Structure 1
């Protein structure tokens, strides 16, 4: 089959995928599987090999990432329900002082965003932003905008978040190197995003009266537009983002309700911080050990095992269960229940990641991957730029960061294999894909609707603030990966 025919099949396949997700509201998992089957048959994959190809794509992907995603979700759930997340955020505010509260909440979003999913972190921290906005009589957006953007940045860039894990495994990057380079890159992106948000929030934006009343404890004066916010009618929003995440649709739903946390004294700041960084340090030690210590040495073998992401997260989960659970009075049944409660929210994410692996396997088995690689090579564009641009385009088109990252990795894997990149370069490509997945959060993204409804912004204000800020931070992230490229 000619390259032009294979490319046409690929274009039709991606277009069909977007139509199924956006217009038909089909779950991305189902859409990816259906499109994968259609693309495989159209590209000439023998019917007898079709099921085997799907199983191999699903199995090879989930074999690497399912355990990591599940363990990460359990750790985040224990930190959340023990009260550790709120305690951690309040401790940061106390340490930074009232003048630097926006920065404190941004740092809290960064650190808590590592073990806690974006949507959960937003629900946990938004009541704290409400409280400090009420106390200071400043606009809510001053606190909420950099905080929310920080959590979304971590969600797009760093393991153990699903998209980052899936991309790292799909393209053959090293999770330790992704963390080693990704953490400082993410920190710089968040810091610069914080500075950009400070300029954005110097002006007032219209605010939903229901959210205004919830934040400031009073109804806004429609005649007075110089206060913390001014009244504006609510904008409509879809009820689902296409991959199982509920989106707020009414002004009254913007009121944040705290999760059912433990009523015992909350864990200390130091305890929560230690549990957040423990798996990161173990993974980094494993990577350093493999690159520094001699092969066959006992120390290298020990660090390799401890630094395996699955082992590092399993150790951290045990520590969380003990220090945040058992030592604070949770019995075994309650600890098991808390861990189990984390799995329903990530089950569909794991399946979507597996279906993305199926799509990537089909592209390789059908020869479409090589055809795409040929075309992309002829453009003369660097792999890093292609990775960022493709992730950004898919993110803008269908909304989900995770789907954009996974689909981009599947499409680019043949090109990256042909380019013979080093592990360090592949890790930067993974981060560039994350930068593309961070950008252009707009009206087809559940995160956009969650943020705008919780902060009371209308559609136009959300686009001028949240969308512009996430896109700016995505561009900054790509710029940093490009700056590091000559060094690796």
Structure 2
């Protein structure tokens, strides 16, 4: 019965968002109230549950998410992202142009959220395509693969950051293991899949695409952008700080040495919130003041970044409210009882639930948060590595992007594809990322 109610709630969510075109946040709150009542929760407790779910979720990620958005915006507005892309294109040369796009998209994807990275990189990909006379899709698939993988697996992106908080996983471990899984996944879903896609839908590689909807893009002369080294350093600094702290923590657990002043300092600056705050302060100098850009202009970029993610934060909060209803309403415990004594890996279970919800709902973040509400009660019964459950949930939440996902339509329109071609490229690409992510997570679980 509880799972039937959840299924009805998901159908209601689909009808509200796709049928009535209601705002996603408003739809999530309405469905959260409806599901809570249907599950028999006392009316006096429902508001408190929704408030605690919304507040608890945003309380963990608002700082990381907000500072991360500012960091990405500063790098983009200063031309740092363009410098990274164009330098790598020149270094790799025409013969290895795909790999240049993969590496630059991966680095930029760590710093920028998926939609921002897509809007920023597509004009660069189109320009390279025209100059070298190669198919835009030949470069577009590797670019989208790198951006999607970083979005699904690596903090400070919303999905993995939120799920890590819900599961109580070490965010540094999520980042470290996420990098290990992300690199082979990008190679398979990018350059390797491009060859397969060319055989499946060869006509799609002749399309010219259309980026008129992006409007006028800010173009920089390369000499007016920050240096390549400082741009990469600024983009990767949160990753560097968090990775160092995680490695030190893992070594400490293995070797058993006690905390010293140095270890305490490393752990402090490697905390996700502190690492991104330090990185933002560095970016304010390297991408702004150090290049004689007035501080007001730098702060305007930061303000714009926060304005752009306001609705996304509310949607994540709404997803958190729905998740809390599933936990407090007993659905999570019901799922835990169903799987009590099962030999099914929590990693596989989290991936499967996230995949089903992703196909149903469209939003990767909402799918991941709803999965957390169902999986959290199970985690107390096992000693599975929580960081790996985070990555499995993230991988499952990317699968089979189709007509209920905004990314599907963005890819279709920008690259001028038909519906069939979009399914055979974008939808298949996201599915390969999801399955590869699961396989590599399961392999990693044999080691860590």
The CA distance in 2 between the partners of 1:397 and 1:9, in whole Å, is 15
The residue that corresponds to 2:277 in the other structure is 314
The 1:202–1:96 alpha-carbon spacing in structure 2 relative to 1, beyond 3 Å, is farther
* Contact map agreement 1:21 1:398 (CA 8 A) in 2: no
The CA distance in 2 between the partners of 1:343 and 1:260, in whole Å, is 23
Query: What is the deviation of 1:206?
Result: 4.1
* Contact map agreement 1:264 1:328 (CA 8 A) in 2: no
> SS of the counterpart of 2:401?
coil
The residue that corresponds to 1:430 in the other structure is 390
* Contact map agreement 2:16 2:27 (CA 8 A) in 1: yes
The CA distance in 1 between the partners of 2:274 and 2:383, in whole Å, is 27
Which deviations, in whole Å up to 9, do the C-alpha atoms of 1:167-212 show, x marking residues without a partner? 11111111111111101210110011221213323676446xxxxx
The residue that corresponds to 2:193 in the other structure is 196
> Are residues 1:466 and 2:426 paired?
yes
> Are residues 1:275 and 2:234 paired?
yes
The residue that corresponds to 2:182 in the other structure is 186
The residue that corresponds to 2:409 in the other structure is 449
TM-score, normalized by length of structure 1?
0.85
The residue that corresponds to 1:481 in the other structure is 441
The 1:260–1:40 alpha-carbon spacing in structure 2 relative to 1, beyond 3 Å, is farther
* Contact map agreement 2:242 2:272 (CA 8 A) in 1: yes
5+ unaligned residues in a row in structure 2: which ranges?
Answer: none
The CA distance in 2 between the partners of 1:472 and 1:44, in whole Å, is 40
The CA distance in 1 between the partners of 2:335 and 2:11, in whole Å, is 15
The CA distance in 1 between the partners of 2:46 and 2:197, in whole Å, is 52
Query: What is the deviation of 1:252?
Result: 7.1
* Residue from 120, 130, 134 that aligns with 1:134: 130
Alignment RMSD, CA only? 2.2
Question: Which sits farther off after the overlay, 97-106 or 54-63?
Answer: 54-63
Query: What is the deviation of 1:165?
Result: 0.7
> SS of the counterpart of 1:487?
coil
The CA distance in 1 between the partners of 2:424 and 2:233, in whole Å, is 37
* Contact map agreement 2:32 2:325 (CA 8 A) in 1: yes
The residue that corresponds to 2:338 in the other structure is 375
> Are residues 1:392 and 2:346 paired?
no
The residue that corresponds to 1:238 in the other structure is none
The CA distance in 2 between the partners of 1:180 and 1:230, in whole Å, is 38
The CA distance in 1 between the partners of 2:98 and 2:400, in whole Å, is 23
> SS of the counterpart of 1:438?
coil
* Contact map agreement 1:204 1:229 (CA 8 A) in 2: no
Greater helix share, 1 or 2? 2
Query: What is the deviation of 1:317?
Result: 0.2
The 1:230–1:181 alpha-carbon spacing in structure 2 relative to 1, beyond 3 Å, is closer
Query: What is the deviation of 1:80?
Result: 0.5
